[in-house]
Structure formats: C-alpha cells, structure tokens
Amino acid sequence: MMLYMTFRSLHFLAILGLAGALLIENIAIKPNISAEDVRNLAKVDAVYTVSIASVFFFGLILWLWVGKPSAFYSANPLYWTKIGMFSVLAILSLFSKRFFNKFRNTFEEKITVPKLVVLILRAQLSLLATIPLLAFLVARGIGLTM
C-alpha cells in the first residue's frame, strides 16, 4: 500500500509538472517572440520533457507492478484510448521542442513562431484536458465489459 501511494504521488506530481510547463508554453507563445523568450521556453520545454517521461515511467510502474492488477487496465478500451492520447501528446511535443532548440542560441532580435507550433501547443493542451477524464472513468471500471 505504501509503495502504491508513493508511485501514485510521484505520477501525480509529474502530471502537475507536465501541465504547468505546457500551460506556461501556451501562455508565453506569441506570433513573434524574442531570443530571450525562446531560451526561456526551451528551458520550460526541458521541464515538460522530463515531466512527460516521468509520467510515462511512474504510470508504467503503476500499471505493471503496484496497485490494481494490470488486467484491470489492459482489458479496458478507455485505458488504451488514454494511452493513445498520451502518446500523441508526447509525439506532438517533438515539434515545439525542435522549434525551441533550433532558435535557443540565436542572436535574432525577433523570431517568428510558425502557426503550426502554436496550433500544436493548443492541441496538446486540449489533449491534456481530456486525459484526466479518461483516467477517472478507467479507475472506476467504466469501459470494462465483464
């Protein structure tokens, strides 16, 4: 029980870090940003990357080793929908990461942010808002066909 609570807490803290970093990125991104903004956003994106890896790692531990049996989750299509959405969230983050890293060391005064980067950041925020609802449903066994 103590092990479960430890990993559940770590998983939740990583989710908060992920959400906070993504929110900061969405608030700070504008059509034109300064080189300093890009450097700061690259740092925030690094926090996002560590957080998303931690969410995955601690979630994997919760799924396979502690807590409810893995079959409880594995048999639920809503769980796989949540995992799919999380995977899309992680893959989409590569686009903004590439942009921030590309301009991290620039000396340009103003950098034009591609509309696709802004759109992807907004899409990530939408995905992140949906995943907790699925997690809530899965934890209560909704979606299981027993």
Domain ranges across the chain:
2-139
Between CA 119 and CA 96 the distance in angstroms is 10
Residue 27 has pLDDT above 70, yes or no: yes
Least confident of 27-41, 49-63, 64-78: 64-78
Q: Is 141 left (phi over 0), alpha (psi -120 to 50) or beta?
A: left
Digit-coded pLDDT (tens) for 114-136: 999 999 999 999 999 999 999 99
Q: What percent of the chain has pLDDT over 70?
A: 99
- Check residues 91 and 71 and name the one with the higher pLDDT: 91
Please compute, for residue 86, the number of CA atoms within 13 A of its CA located in the half-sphere on the CB side.
24
pLDDT at position 32 is: 95
Report yes or no: 103 and 39 within 8 Å, Cβ to Cβ.
no
The matching CATH number, chosen from 1.20.120, 2.60.40, 1.10.10, 1.10.760, for 2-139 is 1.20.120
141 — phi, psi (to 5°)? Answer: 80, 5
Mean pLDDT of the region 27-51:
96
What single string gives the DSSP state of each residue in 14-38? HHHHHHHHHHHHHHH--SEEEHHHH
- The neighbour count for residue 75, using CB atoms within 10 Å, is 15
